[in-house]
Structure 1
Amino acid sequence: MKTIDVPVREQVSAQTQEIFDKLNKKMGRVPNLYATIGYSDNALKGILDFEDAFSHGAFTPKEREAVNLVVSQVNNCSYCLAAHSMLAGLKGFSSEEIMQIRKGLSVNTKLQVVLQLAKSIVENKGAAKPVLKEAFFDAGYNEAALIELIGLITVRTFTNYVYALTDIPVDFPAVPALS
């Protein structure tokens, strides 16, 4: 079976090298997942632009991070769980909250509605339980927020699938399994 290695800067195109330089400046490094996506200029630019497009939408940074966690949990992506657990901690979630979020749970009822809907969307390949969609709208979200939630799920599922098919080294602290 062919293995996919994390490319170094010299192994990617000039366009991807420019993106790597921007990532290095912003993050201090190029995470292995982004480096691997960098085999394709279009995919790396596209996913970064797509992620950025949702960074100013209906959801707060903490809510987006929570969605990243629950989606990565459902998709069983240890890479994204490690990365987003670290980021969730930096955004103010405790270790206990992170574990609950991964289960689709939160003491914040509005966030729990978002998590439950996101979890259902992923588990049911888009055919979420209607009661959860109704709860989302009852919680004060609108159609634009629903579309953005689907976008957030799409972004994370893309990276989850890249990891699943490449099995690249996780370059973030590992996270405990759910009990």
Structure 2
Amino acid sequence: MTSRLPLVSATDTPAASRALLDAVHGAFGATPNMFRAVANSPAALQAMWGFFGALGGGTIPAKLGEQIAVAVADRNACEYCLAAHTALGRKAGASAAEMSAAQAGESADPATAAALRFALKLVEQRGQVGDADVASLRAAGFDDGQIVEILAHVALNLFTNYVNVAFAVPVDFPGVKLRAAG
């Protein structure tokens, strides 16, 4: 598959994107294709990298963030994000079975299951959730700040899913099969 946008390289990166791509490279040990596509716009790259950094410093554990990411990626048929976040989830301590369950929006852990249900409802209903949905997160032990962070993780993943799907960014992580629609 060929990307619908150029994947910038070290030689053709816009000057305003260079430092950020260097930071991405330092964090991953390589520069993932998604960031190379987004680097066509220094403003979009700054927004995306800043969003990742801000949520990385939040109170939602990395493992839960990655579980949310694979659930959202699968729902949006984003093979790139599914592959990337499955690998990142494993690095964050999730088992292969936990990541596979999260891809289906499921977890044996009640709090994680509640977060995944909420995340998928946000995606499926375009943010149209109700009082009971927020109350279910509180009942699962999430405080208001964590509830906002769960929504922020969904928003970031919508951004990355749309980038990768819309621009046909080639997957450069070990592939993971999307769940069959049904």
TM-score (structure 1 length as normaliser): 0.93
Task: Figure out how many residues of one structure are paired with residues of the other and give that number.
Answer: 178
Task: Judge which range, 100-109 or 89-98, deviates more.
Answer: 89-98
What residue identity is the alignment partner of 1:131? A
Deviation of the 1:130 alpha carbon? 4.5
SS at match of 2:11: helix
Q: Which segments of 5 or more consecutive residues in structure 2 lack a partner in the other structure?
A: none
Deviation of the 1:176 alpha carbon? 2.2
Tell me, in whole angstroms, the C-alpha distance in 2 between the residues paired with 1:60 and 1:177.
24
1:80 and 2:81 are equivalent in the alignment: yes
What residue identity is the alignment partner of 1:177? L
Tell me, in whole angstroms, the C-alpha distance in 2 between the residues paired with 1:84 and 1:101.
11
Tell me, in whole angstroms, the C-alpha distance in 2 between the residues paired with 1:58 and 1:121.
20
**Structural mapping, 1:25-174, within 5 Å:** 25-128=26-129, 130-174=131-175
Contact 1:120–1:129, Cα closer than 8 Å, also in 2? no
What residue identity is the alignment partner of 2:120? K
Deviation of the 1:142 alpha carbon? 2.3
Post-superposition CA distance 1:50-86 (Å, at most 9, x none): 1111112231111111111111111111000000011
- Runs of 4+ displaced beyond 6 Å: none
What residue identity is the alignment partner of 2:18? Q
Deviation of the 1:3 alpha carbon? 2.9
SS at match of 1:140: coil
Contact 2:123–2:154, Cα closer than 8 Å, also in 1? yes
Post-superposition CA distance 1:27-52 (Å, at most 9, x none): 21110001100001011011111111
What residue identity is the alignment partner of 2:10? R
What residue identity is the alignment partner of 1:19? L
Q: Which segments of 5 or more consecutive residues in structure 1 lack a partner in the other structure?
A: none
What residue identity is the alignment partner of 1:88? G
Contact 2:6–2:37, Cα closer than 8 Å, also in 1? yes
TM-score (structure 2 length as normaliser): 0.91
